[in-house]
Amino acid sequence: MTELVSPARSRLRPADGVRVGFVGLRTRPLRTLLTALGIAIGIASMISVVGISASSRADLLAEIDSLGTGLLRAAPGQSMFGDQSTLPETAKRTAGRIGPVTAAAGLTYTTATVRRSPYVDAGITGGIAVMAVDSNLLDTVRGSLASGRFLNQTSPDVPVVVLGADAAARLGITSLDRHPRVWITGGDGHGEWFAVIGIAAKTPLAPELDSAAMIGYGVADELYDTTASPSTLFVRADPDRVPDVRAVLARTVNPQSPNEVDISRPSDALEARAKTDAALRNLLLALGAVALLVGGVGITNVMVISVLERRAEIGVRRALGASRRHILTQFLAEAGLLSVLGGVAGCTLGAVVTAVYANSRGWVVDVPIAALAGGAGVALAVGLLAGVSPAIRAARLDPAEAIRPV
């Protein structure tokens, strides 16, 4: 009598497939750990690259945010004949009349040099520029003071000086407690003691102030014949109206020859820095990808060995009813679990590295969730890809052959 009923298909529940893959890993813990480590290193390096560059970027953006994007810088450019031109003395006043402009402040380089005392050789200037500045300059560029106070309306004519962060360090002046003085000599050799009344913090939007000794216009004129024509003019405006201001600024400050005025936006440099980091980041990401690739090859290698070692198990599972597809699933699950293990370890490690590094630099810690998810996903993909070929080998084994002792 013939039974016409077609027998059922062999079936493996998905959860059981994962469980069977897990048994293979559990049986050889050291090998599992070492193989997962390969993936973990690749993922960790990628996550930390993304995390560190995101943290650095977040920090830069926060800085840009606090400094504002409303600052414009006007400097004399070159005349048609290649000579250095100057801004007219009226530049500051006329710039202040532009509607959206909230503040304008200038600085003028002098020929003077600054030293700790007259006994220091005149040639040792430390690269510090002595400049006459407006009393609202620091506010205009959103700079701040590390200690002391800035020049004010009453002090342009008295011999007091505010040092930029780098200038103070070069002169060896770290505090104002002992009322330090510096010796400022004009181009004609005439010197004068100046009391240091303030030390500025770093000014990212006007880096030239960092290595400057800032004095008032009045005293600069009196002692060193400094003109009132600004070497650089800073103009702060409503950030939304900056393009409008920019369009008219050159013509306003120098109506005679507007094309001799160079206008720039200092915050653009910071934004550019945030962008240029991307190139380096991509390079490092590529290195991380190479590490990941090596990890993937490690998985393939280990899986190939595993298939050879476990011929008998494969044969037994086939005898117990596993179809070719189930064997394929088992080894893919094993490779996938291995790489997810590595991926999770790598994500954790990468996040920790990012946090430690960002903290050491005083940055905001920013590990993008997308990077973590991406890292885990990429790890899984690498593992599955690495497992395909060994899994196919395993599935193709002839059960009768596999079961026989070699």
Partner 1 sequence: MSAVLELTSVVKEYPGAPPIRALAGVDLRVERGEFVAIVGPSGSGKTTLMNVIGALQRPTTGTVKIDGVATSSLSDSRLSAVRGRRIGFVFQQFHLIEGMSAMENVADGLLYAAVSRRQRLRRAAEMLAAVGLADRATHRPGKLSGGERQRVAIARALIADPAIVLADEPTGNLDSANGAAIMSLLQQLNADGRTIVLITHDRDLAQALRQVTMRDGCIVADSTVVAT
212 beta partners: 129
Tell me if 216 sits within 8 A of 154, measured CB to CB: no
Nearer to partner 1, 23 or 122 (CB): 23
Applying CB under 8 A, the span of 89-97, 130-138, 270-278, 308-316 interacting with partner 1 comes to 308-316
Taking CB under 8 A as the criterion, the residue among 92, 115, 170, 317 binding partner 1 is: 317
201, 202, 207, 210 alpha-carbon torsion, rounded to 10°: 50
Q: How far apart are CA 177 and CA 148, in angstroms?
A: 10
Applying CB under 8 A, the span of 55-63, 243-251, 321-329, 382-390 interacting with partner 1 comes to 321-329
8 is a contact residue toward partner 1 (CB under 8 A): yes
Nearer to partner 1, 352 or 403 (CB): 403
- Measured CA to CA in angstroms, residue 154 lies from 103, 150, 151, 160, 314 at distances of 19, 11, 8, 11, 92
3 is a contact residue toward partner 1 (CB under 8 A): yes
Taking CB under 8 A as the criterion, the residue among 94, 227, 323, 348 binding partner 1 is: 323
370 beta partners: none
Listed in order, strand segments (DSSP E) in 125-245 are 129-133, 145-148, 160-163, 181-185, 191-200, 212-215, 232-237
Q: How far apart are CA 78 and CA 239, in angstroms?
A: 28
Nearer to partner 1, 57 or 326 (CB): 326
9 is a contact residue toward partner 1 (CB under 8 A): yes
Burial letters 354-384, b for 16+ CB under 10 A, else e = bbebbeeeebebbbbeebbebbbebbbebbb
178 is a contact residue toward partner 1 (CB under 8 A): no
CB count within 10 Å of CB 57 equals 19
403 is a contact residue toward partner 1 (CB under 8 A): yes
x/- track of binding to partner 1 for residues 10-49 (CB under 8 A): xxxx-xx--xx--xx-xx----------------------
308 is a contact residue toward partner 1 (CB under 8 A): no
Applying CB under 8 A, the span of 54-62, 181-189, 235-243, 309-317 interacting with partner 1 comes to 309-317
Nearer to partner 1, 210 or 313 (CB): 313
Q: How far apart are CA 147 and CA 169, in angstroms?
A: 13
2 is a contact residue toward partner 1 (CB under 8 A): yes
Nearer to partner 1, 11 or 97 (CB): 11
Listed in order, strand segments (DSSP E) in 77-157 are 101-109, 113-115, 129-133, 145-148
Taking CB under 8 A as the criterion, the residue among 33, 287, 293, 316 binding partner 1 is: 316
Taking CB under 8 A as the criterion, the residue among 34, 247, 312, 373 binding partner 1 is: 312
CB of 404 to partner 1, least distance (A): 8
404 is a contact residue toward partner 1 (CB under 8 A): yes
Nearer to partner 1, 189 or 405 (CB): 405
Tell me if 335 sits within 8 A of 363, measured CB to CB: no
Q: Report strand pairing: 191-200 vs 160-163.
A: parallel
Residue 216, CB-side half-sphere exposure with 13 Å CA sphere: 19
Tell me if 139 sits within 8 A of 234, measured CB to CB: no
Taking CB under 8 A as the criterion, the residue among 48, 93, 187, 325 binding partner 1 is: 325
Note the residues at the interface with partner 1 (CB under 8 A). Answer: 1-3, 6-13, 15-16, 19-20, 23-24, 26-27, 312-313, 315-326, 398-400, 403-405
